[in-house]
A = this chain, B = another copy of it.
Amino acid sequence: MKIESLQNQYVKQWTKLHEKKERDKTGLFLVEGEHLITEALRADIVQKILYTGENPFNFPDCIEVTEPVMKKISQNVSGAKCIAVCIQKERTAEDPKRVILLDDVQDPGNFGTIIRTARSFGFEVIYTSKKTCDLYNEKVIRSTQGALFTMPVIRCDLAEKIRELKTESFRVIGTALKDAVPMSRIGDADKMAFLFGNEGQGVHQELLDACDQRLFIEIGNFESLNVAVATGIVMYRYRG
């Protein structure tokens, strides 16, 4: 069976997954392109694969669609040859030692890049505030390079999470430009959690106040860093 009609009910359903509301309701999301779908298959979250032309995958539930149908379902301007409908799986981290907390990070590229970097440096879980950018946004997925399929990324109340981490003997470190200790003077601990903030506003004051310590990355006066870069520098330094 090849789907040829733009009016096909499945095509309409899948296209709706561009919207966060629909993703939340169905627990599904879209993944585009061969490389990312291969990673999704490895993580065992693929429900079905849509393709046009050759089918590069050996997967039971593959559906051929025409190019116009593919174009309609794709969110990628330059077009995709294959798209997977994937299942949002909640993941948890068992006894993590290295944790990232994100307070209202807004840019999908930054958010995705932070998830990718966390995977590379042995960070085991990312907790995000409720206002942090949606995890299943297409740009987030692309920027993670697939790391999001296996990394636990959990939306929660950060103030509560900080309290919890402290009772579990984590050293919770907030990043800030003022009243903070240079990173080179902060040693390692067995369990560490690092809190990063919004691109414009940084970390909320009440969350910073709840941390054990404040860290700043040694930069020139009047300068600043992109949050994905700052997170990368800190994660490299304290890699698990």
Contact = CB atoms under 8 A, between A and B. Distances in A.
A187 to B, nearest CB: 16
A109 interface: yes
Contacts of A109: 109
Contacts of A226: 113, 116-117, 143, 228, 232
A181 interface: no
Interface in A61-83: none
Number of copies: 2
A236 interface: yes
Top 7 nearest A-B pairs by Cβ distance? A229-B232, A120-B223, A120-B219, A113-B226, A233-B236, A117-B229, A232-B232
Interface of A: 109, 113, 116-117, 119-122, 143, 145, 217-220, 223-226, 228-230, 232-233, 236, 239
Given A117-B229, A120-B224, 15 more contacts: A113-B228, A113-B229, A116-B224, A116-B226, A117-B226, A119-B223, A120-B220, A120-B225, A143-B226, A217-B236, A225-B232, A228-B228, A228-B229, A229-B232, A230-B232
